Amino acid sequence: MFPELNNLLNTTPDRAEQGKLTLLCDANTDGSFLVHHFLSFYLKANCKVCFVALIQSFSHYNIVGQKLGVSLTVARECGQLVFLEGLKSSVDVFFRAQAEPHPLQFLREANAENLQPLYEFVREALKPVDDGDAAWRCPVLLVDDLSVLLSLGMGAVAVLDFIHYCRATVCWERKGNIVALVHDSGDTEEEENNILLNGLSHQSHLILRAEGLATGFCRDVHGQLRILWRTPSQPTTQRDRSLTYQYKIQDKSVSFFAKGMSPAVL
Amino acid sequence: MAAVATCGTGAGSTGSMVAAGSKNNVTSFQRRGPRASGSDSSYSRLVSIAGTRPSVRNGQLLVSTGLPALDQLLGGGLAVGTVLLIEEDKYNIYSSLLFKYFLAEGIINGHTLLVASAKEDPADILQELPAPLLDDNVKKDFDEDACNHKTAESNIKMKIAWRYQLLPKMEQAGPVSSSRFGHYYDASKKMPQELIEASKWHGFFFPEKSSSTLNIEPCSLTHGYIKLLQFIQNTIYEEGFDGSNPQKKQKNILRIGIQNLGSPLWGDDICCTENGNSHSLTKFLYVLRGLLRTSLSACMITMPTHLIQNKAIISRVTNLSDTVVGLESFIGSERETNPLYKDYHGLIHIRQIPRLNNLIYDVSDVKDLAFKLKRKLFTIEWVQDNYLRQERNIYPPGFSYLLKQKDSAWGEGSLQHSTFLMSFLAKATAFASRLVRHSEPLEQTGSGRALQAAGPRLWRDGRRQEAPGLLVTPP
């Protein structure tokens, strides 16, 4: 959790909003620092988190999480975090036929139609626990990232359906949040990715877009972050609020500053 | 060597942390923090694998790619458990050389090799590996090389182009002993036969294996990729690289080299048509990465990305690989005649470096890198004098120039910029008789403007004033 980003988004772990879909997207740069931020943010906010991590291994998120002040192993042991490690499970699914449907079942199939097993997994993970000894604040689904699902053979429509089902269950029914990362290649040839990105942009309440600098690589400014607040359900009578900041990623935090006001320049 | 035991679990203290909690898997992503009292055995065990070293930034275990210069650009080496993707150059000359360096490094370090190719028999590939350069043989070759090398000039403290001095120096080639992390290879000699025979390797030659049957239900992967994945998984499991065989006493690294992945020889048609089987290669890479993350292995893949018709696949493949390096050779391109590149054979682009266990990553500041294969060695250098050569094209020699200062004609202006430009124009002190002004303001007596307009007045005491930043005049 980066305190500066919390200030920009005007949230704290105590006052986290509910029922929101946040879209993270990155273009020409690596936006995974945003995923680490939201993971630690929601764990500190005492929410039950289901993390579908398709790109990196558990230890990667754990080590970075420790730098940000949360321990994923502890969270997983006490039930606050349900972690689906895509890379490890893919090996199991691919080489051995599973008895029951596995969330990554589509890896074995030639033409997987939909992501229903994955949705069932998410729904099961974020089911409200009735015994009530550890009442978590609200369920949160975190996906890193959705573009990998396109690379693995799912169509954009299937992924949009999956997010729609998750939204109905997590955001509307259980008043939770969803955070998903999508890569933006910026290339008009990638039609599926553009469909996915446009579709999700219209559904989301908050869009965080990390872009590389247009002038190329810079050692002191790693990129630019655009924050866009939207109200997808109501017609926009007023303009959506948007802010742009530049950032530099450091070892344990990310510092944000207004455009052109990098401390290295001033 | 002590037997493999579970690393200290439960305690959240620093030391090693096992990635997979349930099994006794020892993966490569272990944190090497300060040695806690309990869990020191795993630390020493992992560090003692030959040919590896922990990264200084995040404690990640690294192996050498076979090219110390490339290791330096990648932040110390290739992390165990990751994929290095080499985008092949147009005629697959230098990428196959990098491939051989990778395998040769494995043989020198005693790692197990897995060589997969659809074009050449792995046994033939191993016969063609370059020989390592050891201490005594070639010391005199390096000495004469160093004399001829023009970087002798750069040892002089740069007065003009002082910004260039701040850039990191590329590691120069030198003879090394076999216990060092990276080794140098002589591309003109072959690796000695006894070293190859002493090494342990597994070969996958696709035309031989294509006839056997599949025992996996058909998914969208092509036949070749499925067989290759099964072969890799069998090797990892049987040799115990995933920690599944606890009786193994000495841990080792498995180096996987896959050549020309994605080419039509593997049965994939992404290089032939635009609407081919577009998910086969990406699914293969995903499952391969899953295998690598759960075992002590590192993989180098060369891929002819310049042939892939659908450009969206290239960006997907890049996102699914950890480290991506692109090679671009000058053969047959217009850059062959460009005087800027006359010493080099091609450009090397570091397209992606992973952020492993960290928010930040080691990225080199130097972006324009070129390689050359000279005198049996493959070196990577920053393409120097880029700015200077471009400037020289704008200001051809033999003319005289009047440089106007930034604010006023006789004011201070930007000392460094103007002296930089001036110095290089005035390199051979044959000044044209007209005014090549340098920016140091002279002492003004009386009405300065009239005084400084006349040329000969530059020579104040009969001797020319030594202006800062101007090159020293030869006697």
Domains of chain B: 73-137+180-391 (3.40.50.300)
Measured CA to CA, the distance from residue A86 to residue A104 in angstroms comes to 8
Sequence length of chain B is: 475
Closest CA to A174 of A13, A1, A20, A8: A20
Is the whole model's pTM more than 0.90, yes or no?
no
Q: What percent of chain A has pLDDT over 90?
A: 50
Measured CA to CA, the distance from residue B361 to residue B82 in angstroms comes to 15
Kind plus residue range of the DSSP H or E element containing A35 = helix A32-44
Q: Which amino acid is at B214?
A: L
Find which of B16, B286, B287 to mutate to test the A interface (most A CBs within 10 Å of its CB): B286
Give residue B39's pLDDT: 35
Kind plus residue range of the DSSP H or E element containing B315 = helix B311-320
Q: Which amino acid is at B166?
A: L
Beta strands in B209-268 (DSSP E): 254-258
Facing B316 at nearest CB: one of A32, A67, A151:
A151
Q: Tell me the pLDDT band of B429, cut-offs 50, 70 and 90.
A: very low
Which of residues B90 and B247 earns the better pLDDT score?
A: B90
Measured CA to CA, the distance from residue B209 to residue B216 in angstroms comes to 15
Find which of A4, A38, A56, A59 to mutate to test the B interface (most B CBs within 10 Å of its CB): A59
Both structure tokens of B15: 């030391």
Measured CA to CA, the distance from residue B369 to residue A242 in angstroms comes to 39
A107 vs B287: CB contact, 8 Å cut-off? yes
Judge whether A42 lies within some domain.
yes
Give residue B42's pLDDT: 42
Please list, residue by residue across B235-246, b when 16 or more beta carbons sit within 10 angstroms of its beta carbon and e when fewer do: bbeebbbbbbee
- Are the beta carbons of A126 and A142 closer than 8 angstroms? no
Find which of B46, B353, B357, B361 to mutate to test the A interface (most A CBs within 10 Å of its CB): B357
Both structure tokens of B219: 């998914």
User: Which residues of A are less than 8 Å from B58 in CB distance?
Assistant: 63
B27 vs A36: CB contact, 8 Å cut-off? no
Helix (H, G, I), strand (E, B) or coil at B192: coil
Q: How far is CA A190 from CA A24, B59, B245, in A?
A: 18, 37, 44
User: Which residues of B are less than 8 Å from A185 in CB distance?
Assistant: 312, 315
Judge whether A261 lies within some domain.
no
Backbone angles phi, psi at B310, to 5 degrees: -95, 110
Determine the distance in angstroms separating the CA of B8 from the nearest CA of chain A, rounded to an integer: 14
Cα angle for residues A196, A198, A200 (degrees, 5° grid): 65
Determine the distance in angstroms separating the CA of A243 from the nearest CA of chain B, rounded to an integer: 23
Minimal-distance CA residue of chain B relative to A106: B219
Facing A185 at nearest CB: one of B27, B219, B315:
B315
Put simply, whether A181 touches B (Cβ < 8 Å) is: no
Q: Bridge partners of B374? A: B377
Find which of B80, B83, B219 to mutate to test the A interface (most A CBs within 10 Å of its CB): B219
Q: What percent of chain B has pLDDT over 90?
A: 22
Q: Report the range of poorest mean pLDDT among A40-44, A107-111, A184-188, B402-406.
A: B402-406
Find which of B82, B232, B291, B315 to mutate to test the A interface (most A CBs within 10 Å of its CB): B315
Residue B169 is given by DSSP the state P
Q: At residue B472, does pLDDT exceed 60?
A: no
Judge whether A256 lies within some domain.
no
Which of residues B337 and B301 earns the better pLDDT score?
A: B301
Task: Compute the radius of gyration of chain B from its Cα atoms.
Answer: 28
Residues 156-175 of A with CB under 8 A from B: none
B283 vs A63: CB contact, 8 Å cut-off? no
Give residue B422's pLDDT: 58
Judge whether A263 lies within some domain.
no
User: Which residues of B are less than 8 Å from A184 in CB distance?
Assistant: none
B286 vs A110: CB contact, 8 Å cut-off? no
B363 vs A91: CB contact, 8 Å cut-off? no
Put simply, whether A229 touches B (Cβ < 8 Å) is: no
Both structure tokens of B452: 């400084």
Looking up residue A38, the CATH number of its domain turns out to be: 3.40.50.300
Q: At residue A66, does pLDDT exceed 50?
A: yes
A74 vs B287: CB contact, 8 Å cut-off? no
Give residue B177's pLDDT: 43
Which of residues A72 and A108 earns the better pLDDT score?
A: A72
Q: Report the range of poorest mean pLDDT among A122-131, A187-196, B361-370, B381-390.
A: B381-390
- Are the beta carbons of B76 and B362 closer than 8 angstroms? yes
Judge whether A249 lies within some domain.
no
A151 vs B315: CB contact, 8 Å cut-off? no
Kind plus residue range of the DSSP H or E element containing A67 = helix A58-68
Measured CA to CA, the distance from residue B141 to residue B205 in angstroms comes to 38
What average pLDDT is seen over chain B?
70
Q: At residue B247, does pLDDT exceed 80?
A: no
Put simply, whether A148 touches B (Cβ < 8 Å) is: yes
Sequence length of chain A is: 266
Backbone angles phi, psi at A192, to 5 degrees: -60, -45
Determine the distance in angstroms separating the CA of A194 from the nearest CA of chain B, rounded to an integer: 11
Facing A64 at nearest CB: one of B27, B279, B357:
B357
What is the rounded (10 degree) CA torsion for B70, B75, B76, B82?
-90
Judge whether A85 lies within some domain.
yes
Looking at the 3D structure of chain A, how many domains does it have?
A: 1
Both structure tokens of A37: 């931020």
Judge whether A145 lies within some domain.
yes
The predicted complex's ipTM stands at 0.93
Q: Tell me the pLDDT band of A13, cut-offs 50, 70 and 90.
A: confident
Which of residues B205 and A185 earns the better pLDDT score?
A: B205
Q: At residue B270, does pLDDT exceed 80?
A: yes
Q: What is the pLDDT of residues B11-27, one digit of tens each?
A: 333 333 333 333 334 45
End-to-end CA distance of chain A: give it in Å, rounded. 27
Which of residues B432 and B471 earns the better pLDDT score?
A: B471
Residues 197-216 of A with CB under 8 A from B: none
Residue B57 is given by DSSP the state T
Whether cis (ω within 30° of 0) applies to the bond prior to A251 is: no
Q: Which amino acid is at A36?
A: H
Q: Which amino acid is at A15?
A: R
Scanning the structure block, which residue is given the tokens 């023009």? B150
Q: What is the distance of C-alpha A91 from the center of its chain?
A: 23
User: Which residues of B are less than 8 Å from A251 in CB distance?
Assistant: 358-360
CB neighbourhood size of A131 (10 A): 6
- Alpha helix positions (H), A97-204: 116-125, 146-151, 156-166, 191-203
Judge whether A168 lies within some domain.
yes
Facing A110 at nearest CB: one of B27, B220, B355:
B220
Q: Which residues contact B44 (CB under 8 A, 6 or more apart)?
A: none
Put simply, whether A150 touches B (Cβ < 8 Å) is: yes
Closest CA to A67 of A45, A43, A40, A42: A40
- Are the beta carbons of A178 and A144 closer than 8 angstroms? no
Measured CA to CA, the distance from residue B143 to residue B129 in angstroms comes to 25
Minimal-distance CA residue of chain B relative to A109: B219
- Are the beta carbons of B175 and B116 closer than 8 angstroms? no
A57 vs B27: CB contact, 8 Å cut-off? yes
User: Which residues of B are less than 8 Å from A57 in CB distance?
Assistant: 19, 27, 29, 293
Q: How many CB pairs under 8 A join A and B?
A: 124
HSE-up of A80 (CA within 13 Å, CB side)? 21
Q: Tell me the pLDDT band of B241, cut-offs 50, 70 and 90.
A: confident
Cα angle for residues B25, B30, B36 (degrees, 5° grid): 110
Minimal-distance CA residue of chain B relative to A68: B359
A219 vs B365: CB contact, 8 Å cut-off? yes
**Mean pLDDT to the nearest integer, B32-56:** 55
Q: What is the pLDDT of residues A115-150, one digit of tens each?
A: 999 999 999 998 887 665 567 888 999 999 899 999
B58 vs A63: CB contact, 8 Å cut-off? yes
**Domain span including residue A40:** 3-217
Minimal-distance CA residue of chain B relative to A216: B367
User: Which residues of B are less than 8 Å from A109 in CB distance?
Assistant: 217, 219
